[in-house]
Amino acid sequence: MPLRHLKRVRVQFNPLDKRCVAAREFLARVTSPAALASNPECSVEPRVRDDDAPPVVAVEFTSGTKDQFNVHRMTVDDISGRIKRVSDQMATRQALSEAGLKFDELKFDVKAT
């Protein structure tokens, strides 16, 4: 999982909680050598808890946007997909900006079929 456009990733869970499987797998993915090499500036913060709160993933994007969500009913692909959607939007906006365009000023002609 590439960490592009991410400033910080925090994964909080109780390791004895059965609901933390996706959080633990996600943590393993974001701490892999390939993920860490994709953005050495990104801070990955695992937080082990001893309470009954559900596992949580909190991310901060380089744009300053923050997202925090409970992951006890999510798969690791759900978690990655949620983060990837925001990263992809940021990459699109950046590419448009580099081309001299502003996303908010674009007009889309969508016709119903």
CATH number at residue 31: 3.40.30.10
The string of pLDDT tens digits covering residues 12-61 is 999 999 999 999 999 999 999 999 999 999 999 999 999 999 999 999 99
* Reported confidence tier of residue 107, pLDDT bands at 50, 70, 90: low
Q: Write out the two tokens for 20.
A: 């933390």
| Number of domains into which the chain is organized | 1
Distance (Å, rounded) from C-alpha 6 to C-alpha 92?
A: 15
Q: Do the domain assignments include residue 103?
A: no
Q: Do the domain assignments include residue 112?
A: no
Q: Do the domain assignments include residue 1?
A: no
Q: Do the domain assignments include residue 109?
A: no
Q: Do the domain assignments include residue 105?
A: no
Contacts of 12 (CB under 8 A, 6+ apart): 23, 46, 47, 48, 49, 53, 55, 56, 57, 58
Q: Do the domain assignments include residue 91?
A: yes
Q: What's the whole-model pTM score?
A: 0.81
Q: Do the domain assignments include residue 25?
A: yes
The string of pLDDT tens digits covering residues 5-14 is 999 999 999 9
Q: Do the domain assignments include residue 68?
A: yes
**Which tops the pLDDT comparison, 28 or 99?**
28
Domain of 16? 6-98
Q: Which of 21, 15, 28, 23 is nearest to 79 (CA)?
A: 23
